[in-house]
């Protein structure tokens, strides 16, 4: 996880990035300890829920777009 070690990120940001990467790449491997790591960085239960919802939505909508063969907007290049 090269990006999770970026020196410009705070510990809280690194924890969120690691959480997002794991939820994206290996969602079946998520455990209570993953949420505990976010709580350790000061995130509340509501913050964790928000993070899960945003991460999951982006994963979902990207898969829908990929599945339908939708090309990215020209401005996104």
- Tell me the C-alpha distance between 10 and 14, whole Å: 6
- Tell me the C-alpha distance between 66 and 62, whole Å: 6
- pLDDT for the residue 35: 98
- Domain extent listing, the chain: 3-72
Q: Which of 77, 42, 60 is nearest to 16 (CA)?
A: 42
E strand residue ranges, the chain? none
CATH code of 3-72, in short, is: 1.20.1290.10
- pLDDT for the residue 59: 95
Model confidence over 12-70: pLDDT tens digits?
999 999 999 999 999 999 999 999 999 999 999 999 999 999 999 999 999 999 999 99
- pLDDT for the residue 3: 58
Question: What does the radius of gyration of the chain's CA atoms come to, in whole angstroms?
Answer: 14
- pLDDT for the residue 69: 92
Residue 73: pLDDT band (50, 70, 90) is: confident
> In 3-state terms, what secondary structure has residue 8?
coil
- Under DSSP, the state recorded for 74 is G
């Amino acid at each position: 996880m090269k990006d999770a070690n970026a020196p410009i990120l705070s510990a809280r940001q690194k924890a969120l990035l690691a959480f997002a990467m794991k939820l994206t790449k290996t969602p079946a491997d998520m455990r209570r300890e993953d949420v505990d790591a976010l709580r350790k960085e000061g995130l509340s239960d509501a913050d964790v829920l928000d993070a899960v919802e945003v991460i999951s939505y982006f994963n979902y909508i990207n898969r829908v777009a990929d599945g339908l063969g939708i090309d990215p907007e020209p401005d996104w290049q």
